[in-house]
Chain A
Amino acid sequence: MTREKTDFLVGLFILLGLVALVFLALRAGNMSSFSFSPTYQVTAHFDNIGGLKVRAPIKSSGVVVGRVSAIGFDNQRYQAAVTLDLEQAYEFPEDSSASILTSGLLGEQYIGLTPGGEDKMLAQGGEIQFTQSAVVLEELISKFLYSSAEKEGTAQGGAPAPGAPAAH
């Protein structure tokens, strides 16, 4: 085997490895969702973020307009402080509201932005005032049980009422 041929085959081998890595990063991984367009940060406080994670998408009308860049706990307000990286191309009124939603029944959680009606737009360092927490399944169930127990209680308390005048 000549030297040139060996060099060529080794070059091909390394090239194949690079192609495989690029394939894994772009086609299998989330590299293509990394956007390098300029962004601005706004914060939002939530009572409960549920299973929200860093790099979760922020969607408005179902379109991804940014990503969650940081999640922390605000010890002054006893609330979760979420930093949102919104793309500069999209602007939202200052009174927009953010809610934590779930894609599908058990899917990943994301932040849904609903635009408000104010003329002033959110800017770097701004804060979203209106937020809605994640729905926690246990709370939902306990709320349901509570309300159905309450209904049962009133039904039992109210049941003798129609019969009561008759007994008199």
Chain B
Amino acid sequence: MSGLTSRIAGLGRKFLSTVTGLGAFARLLGAILARSGVVLRRPRLVSQQIHFIGNHSLLIISVSGLFVGFVLGLQGYYTLNRYGSEEALGLLVALSLTRELGPVVTALLFAGRAGTSLTAEIGLMKAGEQIAAMEVMAVDPIRRVLAPRFWGGVIAMPVLAAVFSMVGVLGGWFVGVMLIGIDPGAFWSQMQDGVDVIKDVANGVVKSLVFGVVVTLIALYQGWTARATPEGVSRATTRTVVDGALAVLGLDFLMTALMFAN
């Protein structure tokens, strides 16, 4: 009987710690938003972070986008060719990229490339007691460290997703038109007929913005709550990637259901 009660108690503990974690996560978001005035007062702090998060991710994002575009072109052609409608390849590539792959793959890469480095940086600041030192000097670490990184990530993510989609469309064009030999006029005109600026492109930007907020916040939260040991920091970095990827994919399903339900 006591084994059963301890199991039930364990379940309760797990549930409570999950809820507490979610609450702490939401409070961190509130704390960062409340201290975001620094973004306007010292924009250079944010631009440094955009440089660190965005510019340094540009290469991996463009190369991935290019290859995703190549593969979409090849695989899409294989299926469309059976129905004699290979001109619709442009439409297929552009819709897949602007609606789904652009925001989602960028967010996954973003969690791996920028999110981990944010978590490790903040976790090591904590381990090196730099955060504590800031507090001693009456510098608010949320204002000075977290808020600029948060806004840097939120601004960089949609830009990266747009670049990913653009490079992907060009990759699909390269495979479809240059290699396979689809008529370029049909390729572009089918694309322009089917891709709506509001419904497809703008919704993709909204998605990437939401992913930017979520992934950056998860990275900051994991770094902020990491145990100040080498092992704690390494665990936090892993959790950033795992939680970030799961959150992105789950939210993507929700947003797709809301945006493109009809």
Chain A residues proximal to chain B, CB less than 8 Å? 3, 6-7, 9-10, 12-14, 16-17, 19-21, 23-25, 27-34, 55, 108
Please tell me if the beta carbons of B58 and A13 are within 8 angstroms of each other in the complex: yes
- Which residues of the partner chain B approach A32 to less than 8 Å between Cβ atoms? 192
Identify the closest chain B residue to A17 (Cβ). Answer: B159
B174 interfacial contact with A, CB 8 Å: no
Please tell me if the beta carbons of A28 and B159 are within 8 angstroms of each other in the complex: no
Q: What is the distance, in angstroms, from B92's C-beta to the closest C-beta of chain A?
A: 12
B147 interfacial contact with A, CB 8 Å: no
- Which residues of the partner chain B approach A31 to less than 8 Å between Cβ atoms? 197
Please tell me if the beta carbons of A10 and B205 are within 8 angstroms of each other in the complex: no
Chain B residues proximal to chain A, CB less than 8 Å? 44, 47-48, 50-51, 54-55, 58, 94, 98, 155-156, 158-160, 162-163, 165-166, 169, 188, 191-193, 195-197, 200-201, 205
Bound Cα distance A27, B97 (Å): 14
Please tell me if the beta carbons of A13 and B166 are within 8 angstroms of each other in the complex: no
- Which residues of the partner chain B approach A3 to less than 8 Å between Cβ atoms? 44
Q: What is the distance, in angstroms, from B255's C-beta to the closest C-beta of chain A?
A: 18
Give the 4 A-B CB pairs with smallest separation, nearest first: A17-B159, A20-B162, A20-B166, A29-B197
25 A-B pairs with C-beta separation under 8 A: A7-B44, A10-B55, A13-B50, A14-B155, A16-B58, A16-B159, A16-B163, A17-B160, A17-B162, A20-B159, A20-B162, A21-B162, A21-B205, A23-B169, A24-B162, A27-B192, A28-B94, A28-B165, A28-B169, A29-B98, A29-B197, A29-B200, A30-B193, A31-B197, A32-B192
